[in-house]
């Protein structure tokens, strides 16, 4: 039976996919991009208002959902026995991917190109690295649980491989001035990353909920005898 936490990555994938294609449709309708001149990059579609406003909102909420998903995944892997160092590395790469997504949405390419490209690097390259790290951990530690159908793991491997190949192709095609082909690769990579995040719904299906636990630090005042040491809130 699937828990409600599995809706988080599923909604993330739906929100991001629907959002950026909505931005694309508005950009075409408002003639901000001209398809007869070539297929546009995602960022070019979100350069001008009003679609730039929607673009920012879509990516900001998507980044928040991605960050929360990465935090839940961190705690899940910790409970499964993944070591502290590799698990923290996975967590921080995921959070950097979420940060990059927010940067892309808030710093339009035509206004802050360097900042925008930095965010794109974090969102795409670090985002792909995030999923490769998890595949590596599951390959090294055979005893880790594998929720869902047996083909979920191979599917993730295939999606990560395609993402890596298309990301390299995107950069190479851009340097060769084949912008439409490069942009098409960017769109496909973005869709595949959304699918990879959405697949966490399978992993979260076994979770009934999460608990926020607040504990006093070493230098805090001792609580009264009748007060609890920690406050647990069921989310």
Q: For the chain, what are the domain ranges? A: 4-204
User: Token pair of 214, please?
Assistant: 């607040």
Q: d(Cα 127, Cα 4) in Å, to the nearest integer?
A: 25
The dihedrals phi and psi of 86, each to the nearest 5 degrees, come to: -65, -35
Beta bridge partners of 187: none
**pLDDT tens track for 170-199:** 999 999 999 999 999 999 999 999 999 999
Nearest to 144 by CA among 136, 155, 66, 130: 136
Tell me the two tokens of residue 217. 């630090």
Is the separation of the CB atoms in 214 and 206 below 8 Å? no
Give the C-alpha separation, 79 to 99, whole Å: 25
- The tens digit of pLDDT for each residue in 54-80 reads 999 999 999 999 999 999 999 999 999
State residue 125's pLDDT score: 97
- The Cα 24–Cα 137 span in angstroms is 37
**Percentage helix, strand, coil for the chain under 3-state DSSP, each rounded to 5:** 70, 5, 30
Q: Which residues of 33-68 are buried (b: 16+ CB within 10 A; e: fewer)?
A: beeeebbbbbbbbbbbeebbebbbebbebbbebbbb
pLDDT at 111: 84
pLDDT of the residue at 224: 55
How far, in Å, CA of 134 to CA of 140, rounded? 10
User: What is the reported pLDDT for 161?
Assistant: 97
Q: 234 pairs with which residues across the strands?
A: 211
Residue 214's pLDDT band (boundaries 50, 70, 90)?
Answer: low
Phi, then psi, of 56 in degrees rounded to 5: -65, -45
Cα 90 from Cα 70, distance rounded (Å): 8
pLDDT by residue (tens digit) across 17-66?
A: 999 999 999 999 998 999 989 999 999 999 988 899 999 999 999 999 99
The pLDDT of residue 235 is 54
The CA distance from 232 to 151, in Å, is 37
- Confidence check: pLDDT of 1 > 60: no
Q: Is the pLDDT of residue 200 over 50?
A: yes
For residue 36, give both structure tokens: 């007869």
Q: pLDDT digits over 82-141, tens only?
A: 989 999 999 999 999 999 999 999 998 888 899 999 999 999 999 999 999 999 999 988
Q: Distance between CA atoms of 89 and 106, rounded to whole angstroms?
A: 26
Q: Round to whole Å and give the CA distance between 113 and 38.
A: 21
Q: Assign 68 to helix, strand or coil.
A: helix
Name every residue whose Cβ is closer than 8 Å to that of residue 14 and which is 6 or more positions away in sequence.
198
């Amino acid at each position: 039976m699937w828990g409600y936490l599995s809706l988080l990555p599923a909604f993330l994938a739906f929100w991001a996919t629907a959002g950026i294609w909505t931005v694309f449709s508005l950009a075409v309708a408002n003639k901000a991009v001209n398809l007869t001149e070539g297929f546009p990059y995602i960022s070019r579609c979100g350069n001008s208002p009003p679609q730039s406003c929607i673009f920012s909102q879509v990516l900001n909420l998507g980044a928040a959902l991605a960050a929360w998903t990465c935090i839940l995944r961190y705690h899940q892997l910790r409970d499964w026995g993944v070591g502290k160092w590799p698990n923290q590395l996975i967590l921080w790469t995921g959070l950097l991917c979420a940060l990059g997504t927010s940067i892309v949405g808030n710093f339009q390419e035509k206004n802050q190109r360097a900042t925008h490209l930095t965010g794109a690097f974090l969102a795409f390259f670090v985002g792909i690295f995030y999923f490769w790290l998890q595949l590596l951990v599951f390959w090294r530690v055979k005893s880790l649980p594998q929720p869902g159908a047996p083909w979920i793991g191979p599917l993730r491997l295939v999606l990560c491989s395609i993402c890596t190949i298309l990301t390299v192709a995107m950069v190479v095609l851009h340097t060769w001035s084949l912008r439409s082909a490069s942009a098409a690769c960017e769109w496909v990579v973005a869709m595949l990353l959304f699918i990879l995040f959405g697949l966490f719904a399978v992993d979260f299906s076994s979770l009934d909920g999460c608990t926020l636990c607040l504990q006093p630090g070493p230098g805090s005042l001792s609580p009264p005898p009748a007060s609890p040491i920690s406050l647990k809130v069921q989310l």
